[in-house]
Amino acid sequence: MKANYGYKDGSGEFYITIDTDLCDGCGKCVAACPEKVLEVTEDEIDPLADDLVARVTDAHRKKIKYSCAPCKPTGQPSNLPCVNACEPVAIAHSW
């Protein structure tokens, strides 16, 4: 299941996509993120499942452009710690 966390506003589209079919809940992305954007919880989109998956926290969901800015200072895709930490390649950034 592809969960797109983020928003579109006047300055662009900012979504972090987590593929929960690939995510194994290992938590390495949570540790890698310097801004605490991510967390591992019960899959809220599939209430009947028991596995844990990563998601963007509610605190950051509507401001990820700013939360993620320290890792992409020029605004261009670069070596993002969360993406690098994820072995199953479950995380993607739209900008």
Residue located via tokens 């499942």 = 49
- Positions in 10-49 near another protein (CB under 8 A): 13, 15, 44-48
What is the rounded CA–CA span in Å between residue 53 and residue 26?
Answer: 8
Does 51 engage in binding with another protein (CB under 8 A)?
A: no
Neighbours of 92 (CB within 10 A): 17
Please identify, using beta-carbon distances, which residue of 19 and 28 lies nearer to another protein.
19
| Residue 25 three-state SS | coil
Smallest gap, in angstroms, from Cβ of residue 39 to another protein?
15
Q: Given the rule CB under 8 A, which residues bind another protein?
A: 1-4, 7-9, 13, 15, 44-48, 62
